[in-house]
Chains A and B, each alone.
Chain A
Amino acid sequence: MAECACNNGIKLIYSCSGNADVGEIADRAARVLRKEGFGQGSCIAGVGAGLQGYIQSAMGADVNITVDGCPVGCARKILENIGVTPVSYIVTEMGFKKGGTPVSPEVIEAVCENIRKDKTEKSEVQKFTAAGGGCGCGGNC
């Protein structure tokens, strides 16, 4: 659903949706977060395909959040390729192993909780930005 920018602090959430278990977990966690209103879902494939609607939306959002399965960070890098620095979350950096993690509701919820409460190691500025505050630079200005 398209979101009006009159509502300040628009957050777009993307996942890598990769083929590995952690990619599927990233995908499903992002969907949970979208459904509960943590942020608004968008499509990293659209950005990667060069579709201007998705690209301009990323550039116009206050915050872009990526959930990648592994450190390859495809979703993050796709946004970086268009000059957007997201707040990046990586499933394997939350204690889950690529190729050895069940795609279970418990794991998905644990990933969501890590993102909601930002239990990952990020600077205070990045945490502030992920929560919807700041200038939308992803904590890099």
Chain B
Amino acid sequence: MIKIEVLGTGCAKCNKLEELARKASDDMGIEYELLKVKDVSKIMEYGVMVTPALVVNGEVKAAGKIPSIEEIKKMIGGR
């Protein structure tokens, strides 16, 4: 089970990143859980200063931008 977290306060970019992360995960056919983290104190526990951010299995993979779906797949795949 891969844990994917989208950090952000619920803006348009956060929603877009969530959509792409979900699509990338579905395309890869992996078992995953996707959580939206809106709590700013939890976001900052990751050291993230710019949202949206993508966290995979506890590791921050991107912040302040929306990666392409192919980039997200690589981030989820650990490559």
Contacts and interface: CB of A to CB of B under 8 A. Distances in A.
Interface residues of A, number: 23
Please tell me the size bucket of the interface on B.
20 to 34
Contact of B44 (A1, A4, A10): A1
Contact of A57 (B8, B11, B13, B64): B64
A60 B47 contact: no
A56 interface: yes
B8 A53 contact: no
Contacts of B35: none
B59 A3 contact: no
B50 A5 contact: yes
B12 interface: yes
Interface in A1-38: 1-6, 10, 12
B49 A5 contact: no
Interface string B1-20: 00000011101111000000
Nearest to A43: B47
Contacts of B53: 53, 56-57, 60
Interface of A: 1-6, 10, 12, 40-43, 46, 51-57, 59-61
Interface of B: 7-9, 11-14, 40, 43-44, 46-53, 59-65
A-B pairs, top 4 by smallest CB distance, nearest first, are: A60-B64, A53-B47, A56-B63, A57-B49
